[in-house]
């Protein structure tokens, strides 16, 4: 995403697989904003504020999906949300880029606290989709977690997987990639540079109320998305509807710390 060529490459895969809304983790764009691409798709993004091209999240929408956009909110370099109008129900999407399993505990605690805050703001009747690189292995056993997981995950659960399963349990959500019986190649979302290791660490999660609207979650390893992660697709039974109101855009962030500095205020008074 950070490079224009990669964005065009991703857009071609969107067209190939008829994807209306795509969440991107590790976009590496700084700041936040909305842009229209040469293909007339719309990208909203949220990144770091220190001009460091790391982390970052984004949502790419086709022109059809853009017409349904109600609002979007850049939270930080790891979370962005968007809400879309629908024929019968609205859909809220949270795109994530979670810290790795080896990250500092404070970093992981902070991420999940912010994710919970974002979940709490979703209207209760919406379809909720939490998508992205959660860096979490949830494993193939759902014993004691039948409400939040199916039995078709991969490998063994790790600490991040425990955290993810717990927040899903708390919010009556289910990890979609564990619900459908596919071959391993169609479940594992990441492969190491040496080609020897692979894991299921990217996820598409839906709230339990709309669990049966999720018709499939599958990896398309043949898609070229310009990174070491595979394209993870979800088919959701929902119909977008044009939003008749102008989409709400987030307010620009300002450095309020400067207001505490007496020097600028003194200079202003002298100019009068």
- pLDDT bracket for residue 268 (50, 70, 90): very low
Q: How far, in Å, are 28, 55, 79, 102, 106 from residue 50 at the CA level?
A: 12, 12, 16, 23, 20
Helix (H, G, I), strand (E, B) or coil at 158: coil
Q: Indicate whether 33 pLDDT > 90.
A: yes
Read off the pLDDT of each residue in 82-88 and give the average, rounded to a whole number. 95
- pLDDT bracket for residue 264 (50, 70, 90): very low
Q: Indicate whether 259 pLDDT > 80.
A: no
Structure tokens at 129: 């989709």
* CATH code at position 103: 3.60.10.10
Q: In whole angstroms, give the CA distance from residue 62 to residue 71.
A: 15
For the ranges 28-37, 177-186, 191-200, 259-268, the lowest mean pLDDT is seen at 259-268
Helix (H) and strand (E) counts in the chain: 5, 14
Q: In whole angstroms, give the CA distance from residue 30 to residue 57.
A: 10
Please, which residues bridge with residue 219 across strands?
A: 232
Q: Indicate whether 185 pLDDT > 50.
A: yes
Q: Are 137 and 164 in contact (CB under 8 A)?
A: no
Give residue 226's pLDDT.
Answer: 63
Strands 173-175, 127-133: pairing kind: unpaired
Provide the CA 223 distance to its chain's centre, in angstroms. Answer: 19
Q: Which residue has the tokens 């499939």?
A: 216
- pLDDT bracket for residue 253 (50, 70, 90): low
Model pLDDT for residues 230-251, shown as the tens digit of each residue: 999 999 998 888 988 877 767 6
Percent of the chain with pLDDT over 70: 89
**Which residue range is the domain that position 86 belongs to?**
4-271
Model pLDDT for residues 101-123, shown as the tens digit of each residue: 999 999 999 999 999 999 999 99
Q: In whole angstroms, give the CA distance from residue 270 to residue 107.
A: 45
Burial class (CB in 10 A: 0-12, 13-18, 19+), 232: buried
- pLDDT bracket for residue 252 (50, 70, 90): low
Higher pLDDT, 195 or 148: 148
Give residue 5's pLDDT.
Answer: 59
Provide the CA 24 distance to its chain's centre, in angstroms. Answer: 6
Give residue 260's pLDDT.
Answer: 47
Q: Indicate whether 100 pLDDT > 60.
A: yes
Q: Are 219 and 188 in contact (CB under 8 A)?
A: yes
Q: Are 110 and 76 in contact (CB under 8 A)?
A: no
Read off the pLDDT of each residue in 205-217 and give the average, rounded to a whole number. 97
Structure tokens at 227: 């990174």
Give residue 99's pLDDT.
Answer: 97
Q: If residue 149 lies in a helix (H) or strand (E), which one and from where to where?
A: none
Residues 6 or more apart whose CB falls under 8 angstroms from that of 211 comprise: 174
For the chain, how many structural domains are there in total? 1
Read off the pLDDT of each residue in 169-196 and give the average, rounded to a whole number. 91
pTM of the shown model? 0.88
Read off the pLDDT of each residue in 55-74 and give the average, rounded to a whole number. 97
């Amino acid at each position: 995403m950070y490079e224009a060529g990669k964005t065009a490459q991703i857009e071609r895969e969107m067209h190939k697989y008829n994807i209306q809304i795509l969440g991107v983790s590790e976009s590496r764009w700084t700041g936040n904003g909305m842009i229209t691409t040469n293909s007339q798709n719309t990208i909203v993004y949220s990144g770091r504020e220190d001009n460091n091209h790391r982390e970052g999240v984004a949502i790419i929408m086709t022109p059809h999906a853009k017409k349904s956009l109600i609002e979007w909110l850049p939270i930080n370099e790891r979370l962005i949300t968007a809400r879309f109008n629908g024929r019968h129900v609205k859909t809220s999407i949270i795109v994530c880029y979670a810290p790795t399993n080896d990250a500092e505990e404070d970093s992981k605690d902070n991420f999940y606290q912010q994710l919970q805050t974002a979940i709490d703001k979703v209207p209760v009747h919406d379809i909720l989709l939490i998508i992205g690189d959660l860096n979490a292995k949830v494993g193939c056993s759902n014993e004691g977690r039948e409400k939040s997981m199916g039995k078709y995950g991969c490998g063994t659960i790790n600490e991040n997987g425990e955290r993810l399963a717990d927040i899903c349990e708390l919010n009556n959500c289910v990890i979609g990639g564990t619900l459908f019986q596919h071959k391993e190649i169609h479940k594992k979302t990441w492969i190491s540079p040496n080609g020897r290791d692979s894991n299921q660490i990217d996820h598409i999660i839906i709230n339990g109320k709309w669990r049966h609207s999720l018709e499939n979650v599958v990896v398309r390893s043949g898609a070229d998305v310009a990174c070491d992660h595979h394209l993870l697709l979800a088919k959701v039974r929902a119909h977008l509807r044009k939003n008749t109101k102008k989409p709400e855009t987030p307010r620009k962030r300002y450095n309020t710390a400067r207001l505490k500095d007496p020097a600028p205020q003194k200079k202003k008074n002298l100019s009068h």
